[in-house]
A and B are shown apart, each in its own frame.
Chain A
Amino acid sequence: MTELEQLRRAMRATERPYPEDLDLTVIMRDGRRLRRRRRLVGAGATALVTVLVAGGVGLGVRWARPPAADRPPARAATVPGATPPATSPPSPGPTRWRPPQQPIGEVIDTGIRYGVDQRVYYLVAVDVPEGPRVRVGLMAGRRTPAGELTNDIVINDVQGSDRRPGFHEIGYDDTTPSDARPPVPTFGYFVGPATRIVGTAGGRQVDARLARWSTDPELVVFWFDPVDLTPGVRLDGIVARDRSGRLL
């Protein structure tokens, strides 16, 4: 018997019977709830998005109005009839639409360019019914020279607090790249005094680019340059260090 056959055989030999404990009632109930949320997201073209949730069930998230003090002056441009990204993973097609609300705080320019457009990240207000302490999500978008924003992917927590110390959700772009929408670099945010964030992928360490959120400097937005880490490639690990190199 070859070693591969040994491995295959061992994987099957250690199977345990899983007979009657399958709770189909709960599974189907939760599945219906999830389906309803997805429908709600699909139907609410004016105000709803679905988020990519790493490791959790995708939950409908409603755009919420940010505090007036955080709202920048309204811009004139609008895109009538356009729809927001409404599926998980996010729809790959162009989703140039005017968000109902503006970014909270300053828009972060990554320095990544697609022609004249910039890759930008910005915090947006979200309303998660199951997570009352989750009020913001992180949006990956693009900005035209005229300042018009295109939303690509939003990530946010679905429970707990959006300011919990440590790493929050990581945004991966799983869609097929197209001319209409360039791939979104892997991104996320960390809450705490991080000055360096290093991811590991395929045994290789990759430094993230960092920027602090203007509204709350404890919130550190990070992203991986697509040259260093191909968008969509999963990280095997990630760590944050403070100014003295201490692991956070």
Chain B
Amino acid sequence: MARGDAEFVEFARSASGRLRHAAFLMTGNHHQAEDAAQTALVRTYASWSRIRDEDAYGYARTVLVNHLVDGWRRPIREYPTDDLPEQRRGDVADDVATRRWLLDILGALSARERAIVVLRYYFDLPEAQVARELGVSLGTVKSTGSRALQKLRATGTPATQGTGR
């Protein structure tokens, strides 16, 4: 295996989990998330020689988010809850409550708004960078963050919903 390929394999193994989870947060669908993460990795590999010494993860993340935002014509509005969460840690009921709470909040937002929330609060990117990556204004990023917070306050936390904790 060429050195570049070995580096990509290492990168893909370390990045795929977060990419897939970010896609899941944006779509609420594990299968769609898996496809989106794979698409992002394919395109990242196609450009690997150019980006491997730069911010490869940032490149993959941008490809992923734009791919999903561009797919707004096939929005996933239903969030399946019948698949059991992984039992890797904590209490199953606790995980289910947290996931439902989270998907309720994200499900009330548009695709672009979900992307902003995921970039801002999952990837912890600065507002200006979120605006740049999505091609929206700084004001849109700020207002979307506020809207998500309002929804969060209205929905309450998993602990206050009576299904968990």
Known: A7-B152, A18-B20, A24-B9. A237 touches B99 (CB 8 A): no
| A66 interface contact, C-beta 8 A | no
Interface: B29 (CB within 8 A) = no
- Interface size, chain B (Cβ < 8 Å): 60
Known: A6-B157, A202-B140. A27 touches B12 (CB 8 A): yes
Q: Is the interface of B mostly helix, strand, loop or mixed?
A: helix
A residues near B13, Cβ cutoff 8 Å: 22, 24
Question: Which one, A6, A18, A57, contacts B17 given CB within 8 A?
Answer: A18
Q: Does A82 contact B (CB under 8 A)?
A: no
Q: Which among A10, A15, A24 has the highest number of chain B CB atoms within 10 Å?
A: A10
Residues of B within 8 A of A23 (CB): 38
Residues of B within 8 A of A11 (CB): 21, 25, 102, 118, 121-122
A67 within 8 A of B: no
Interface residues of A, CB < 8 Å — how many?
41
Query: Which residues of B lie under 8 Å from residue A8 when comparing CB positions?
Result: 121-122, 124
Q: Which of B8, B42, B148 has the most CB of A within 10 A?
A: B42
**Does B149 reach chain A (CB closer than 8 Å)?**
yes
* Cβ-based interface call for B61 (8 A): no
Per a CB cutoff under 8 Å, which of B38, B72, B99, B102 touches A235?
Answer: B72
**B73 partner residues in chain A, CB cutoff 8 A:** 55, 167, 238
**Given known A-B contacts A233-B136, A234-B134, A7 and B105 have beta carbons under 8 A apart:** yes
B42 touches A54 (CB 8 A): no
CB proximity of A227 to chain B, nearest CB, Å: 16
Cα A233 to Cα B87 with chains together (Å): 40
Complex partner residue of A17 from B67, B86, B111, B113, CB under 8 angstroms: B86
Q: Given the complex, which residues of A lie within 8 Å of B46, measured CB to CB?
A: 31-32, 34-35, 38
Contacts of B124 in A (CB 8 A): 8
Known pairs A13-B95, A234-B134, A238-B73; list 9 more (Cβ under 8 Å).
A3-B157, A11-B102, A14-B99, A17-B88, A31-B46, A57-B39, A57-B42, A236-B72, A236-B112
Using CB atoms and an 8 Å cutoff, list the residues of chain B in contact with chain A. Answer: 5, 8-9, 12-13, 16-18, 20-21, 24-25, 30, 38-39, 41-48, 67, 69-75, 85-86, 88, 90, 95, 98-99, 101-102, 105, 110-113, 117-118, 121-122, 124, 134-136, 140, 148-149, 152-153, 157-158
Residues of A within 8 A of B (CB): 3-4, 6-8, 10-18, 22-24, 26-28, 30-32, 34-35, 38, 54-55, 57, 167, 170, 172, 174, 202, 232-238
Give 13 CB contacts A-B under 8 Å. Answer: A11-B102, A12-B122, A13-B98, A15-B17, A16-B85, A17-B17, A22-B16, A27-B12, A34-B43, A34-B46, A38-B46, A54-B70, A172-B70
